[in-house]
Amino acid sequence: QVQLVESGGGLVQPGGSLRLSCAASGNIFSINKMGWYRQAPGKERELVAAITRGGSTNYADSVKGRFTISRDSAKNTVYLQMNSLKPEDTAVYYCRGMAYGMDYWGKGTLVTVSS
């Protein structure tokens, strides 16, 4: 099927930046859309950003203007550039691959924004 592996998380101060990566392998042609989701302690998992095969994007209101989702098709990798980070961005960030009949998830990477 599809395997997704996230990387790039870590500890960053408020106002700082991080770039997350999601490397995909397997039956990649079945994926229609890729997305980044996050789950903060005690909260529900939420959409952060998504990108379609055609390159269109959408973002959660809370991250618009600060985060950018992009892809490198040659490397089968999706990125999430996170700027102007806030403490409320602290969460485990998950990569999601969406096919017609199946979702695929990575194991997540932890982002902690704290001074």
Per-residue pLDDT tens over the stretch 23-64 = 999 988 889 999 999 999 999 999 999 999 999 999 999 999
Q: What is the pLDDT of residues 76-95, one digit of tens each?
A: 999 999 999 999 999 999 99
On the question of pLDDT at 73 being above 90, the answer is no
For residue 89, the model assigns a pLDDT of 98
**Max Cα-Cα span within the chain:** 42
Q: State which H helix or E strand residue 79 sits in.
A: strand 77-82
